[in-house]
Amino acid sequence: MQTVTLNNGVTMPILGFGVFQIAPDLTEQAVTDALAAGYRLLDTAAAYGNEEAVGRAIKNSGIPREELFVTTKLWVQDTGEENTARAFDTSLRNLGLDYLDLYLIHQPYGDVHGSWRAMEKLNREGRARAVGVSNFHPDRLVDLIERNEITPAVNQIETHPFFQRVDDQELMRERGVQIESWGGFAEGKNNLFTHPVLGGIADRHGRSVAQVVLRWLVQREIVAIPKSVRADRMKENIDVFDFALTDDQMASIATLDTGGSLFFDHRDPAAVSRISNLRIHD
């Protein structure tokens, strides 16, 4: 498995398995199958409601803890210094772990600076080997960097062929932040899996469109966390390290960029209100 090295020296697999929108009763088996397929990066979140199922799969896998890279995320409801410390402990208990490899602020709302102070402390204590953010636009990311001691190791953002985040990635590279993609397949929007450009490239390599998209992300040095509940698709998705896209093919995919989200804008007032008021526990 190819890896990236984060700004604090921690290594992270470039390809992992995400569990967003996988129901808790299906998550344990899905993670079990993903681990069997060779994935060692697992990505969950408190808001997904399936941390306990991920933890059971890890426990029952027999894989040494040090071989895994486990990420979870802090929800908006729990921002602030004291709340973050409590939420972190809850996530650790749910996962049945002694430490996390990566802890992310899930959304750029609420008391993120208070949360970051707590996360810096968790990082210094070794309870979170790396800390980072998710869904932060460049202005919010730079603000966090400028006002704190530890620079986020990762920013997990919507990144796929129709929203390629080239300028965002360049700024992150300059600031020492690793870009990580969520929604790498755009959830099939814009007919991604039958798109003629992607399909043509897939045919030339004898691969699937999904493999081409993941290879495109890997070649851009973007961490990706595709999800599936099908074991055969998991195996297919991780099998992208024995071929390469040509410069012309990378350039063809670059033409697909629309420059905007296919889901929602994190700066839209209605989206901010909806996300900020979503409660995941009492």
Beta-carbon contacts of residue 135 (< 8 Å; ≥ 6 apart): 106, 107, 108, 156, 157, 158, 266
Beta-carbon contacts of residue 138 (< 8 Å; ≥ 6 apart): 167, 168, 171
Which of 48, 99, 103, 109 is the catalytic position? 48
Query: What's the rounded Cα separation, in Å, for the pair 65 and 85?
Result: 22
Contact 51, 92 (CB under 8 A): no
Partner residues linked to 132 by β-bridges: 104
Is residue 39 flagged as an active site residue?
no
Contact 85, 124 (CB under 8 A): no
Query: What's the rounded Cα separation, in Å, for the pair 212 and 180?
Result: 17
Q: How far is CA 53 from CA 41, 89, 202, in A?
A: 15, 17, 34
What is the token pair recorded at 107? 């959304």
SS3 state at 71: strand
Contact 210, 232 (CB under 8 A): no
Active site residues: 48
